[in-house]
Amino acid sequence: MRREADVLPSPPGGGAGGEGRPGTAPRVADLMREAAARLQAALGLERREARLEAQILIARGLGVERSWLIAHDRDTLSPAQTVAIEALLARRAGGEPVAYILGEREFYGRVFRVTPDVLIPRPETELLVEAALDRLPPERPARVLDLGTGSGCIAISLALERPRAEVSALDASAQALAVARDNARRLGADQITWILSDWYADLSVKNFDMIVGNPPYITSGNEHLRRGDLLGEPVGALVSGYDGLDAIRAIIVGAPARLVQGGWLLIEHGFDQKDSCQTLLRQAGFTRVTALTDLSGVERLSIGRFSGLGAEP
Ligand SMILES: C[S@@+](CC[C@H](N)C(=O)[O-])C[C@H]1O[C@@H](n2cnc3c(N)ncnc32)[C@H](O)[C@@H]1O
């Protein structure tokens, strides 16, 4: 889905082809300024955001920390360095998300490998992890299921924060599961069972203490799908039917048969889906239904406790 990259204005004294003339090699500061302007123009980013992205990509191209760039902004770059940086900037200017270019994204204090097969973990999903941890006492063993695990960021964070929990995680995408397994191996989360399944279809365990999920919840015709990072992310991780609720419905309707009495369901949803989600939770026999608000003030997470069919809401 990547658009054609814009052409990088030749760096001072050099050029994207690495033909720099002695004495006119680009300085770090010049390159940072030009790269930020280019990303701002190509992607319509805010100035601050463009500057930050330019610094991140230049630092990656040079194999240094971002702080190094500031301390060495008068240093000049070799032709090979300019070529390496140009390759990264061209990808970004062409619309590829920074996380895919770097191949990683931080989530809940850990670095996860990400590829275009998985959703880039979002900061707001850390709210789900926090709410789950609040309901999982560290000393008590618990069975936890993560639905639509993607990079594995939720399942792995829970498994590492609660070593006594038995965590299962499923996804309908074999490619996503491969990335999640790799993340678990790198981060040392070895108590997770990975399952390839269309929601609950191939799941044999039925007595979970908690089910969590950040399912796809964008409506099929949504114009945001053609913008920003969403453009490069897997459609199956984003879109869920004409009202965006297909996955949420399937997850809520199927949860009672897989939860112990008193078990929790925590589900992330879109900014305008709280009421629908909570109606579905009550209809399915969940009580103590609440919503949590993310740092942007959006009701992003709905939570219910399964008290058995026929229980008072
Ligand atoms: C919004 S992403 C969430 C990924 C990850 N949990 C996160 O929070 O970053 C939704 C995930 O659900 C998976 N998914 C979509 N439809 C599914 C289905 N029918 N059964 C299982 N997983 C599904 C997608 O492959 C994707 O990995």
Query: What is the average per-residue pLDDT within 196-212?
Result: 95
Q: Ligand 1 pocket by C-beta < 6 Å: which residues?
A: 118-119, 121, 125, 148-151, 153-154, 170-173, 176, 198-199, 214-216, 236-237, 247
The pLDDT of 104-121, averaged and rounded, is 98
Between the CA of 297 and the centroid of ligand 1 the distance, in Å, is: 24
203 with 258, same domain? yes
In a domain, residue 238? The reply is yes
Instruction: Give me ligand 1 centre to Cα 217, in Å.
Output: 10
- 137-171 pLDDT per residue, tens: 999 999 999 999 999 999 999 999 999 999 999 99
Are residues 156 and 254 located together in one domain of the fold?
A: yes
Separation of alpha carbons 69 and 64, rounded Å:
8
Render pLDDT for 73-89 as a digit per residue (tens, 0 to 9). Answer: 999 999 999 999 999 99
Tell me which residue of 61, 188, 186 sits closest to 114, measured CA to CA.
186
Question: Running DSSP on this structure, what letter comes out for residue 233?
Answer: S
Instruction: Assess if residue 46 is contained within a domain.
Output: yes
Of 227 and 159, which is predicted with more confidence? 159
Is 267 within a domain? Answer: yes
CATH number at residue 79: 1.10.8
Domain that holds residue 91: 1-96
Cα(214) to ligand 1 centroid in Å equals: 7
Distance between CA atoms of 263 and 17, rounded to whole angstroms?
A: 60
Answer whether residue 30 is part of any domain. Answer: yes
Q: Is residue 263 part of a domain?
A: yes
* 48, 128: one domain: no
Structural domain total, the chain = 2
103 within domain boundaries: no
- Residues 82, 203 within the same domain: no
Atom of ligand 1 nearest to the CA of 250: 19
Q: How far apart are CA 22 and CA 17, in angstroms?
A: 15
Mean pLDDT, rounded, for 48-76: 96
State the Cα–Cα distance between residues 261 and 83, nearest whole angstrom: 60
Report the amino acid identity of residue 251.
I
Give the phi and the psi of residue 126 in degrees, each rounded to 5. -65, -25
Centroid of ligand 1 to alpha carbon of 182 (angstroms) = 17
Q: Are residues 153 and 207 in the same domain?
A: yes
Question: Would residue 226 count as lying in a domain?
Answer: yes
Q: Which amino acid is at 238?
A: L
β-pairing verdict for 110-113 and 286-293 = unpaired
Cα 276 vs. chain centroid, distance in angstroms? 24
How high is the pLDDT of residue 184? Answer: 98
Which of 64, 96, 128 is the last residue before a domain boundary?
Answer: 96
CATH code for the domain of 150:
3.40.50.150
Partners of 281 in the β-ladder: none
Q: What is the pLDDT of residue 23?
A: 55
Determine the Cα–Cα distance for residues 39 and 46; give it in Å rounded to an integer. Answer: 10
pLDDT number for residue 89 = 98
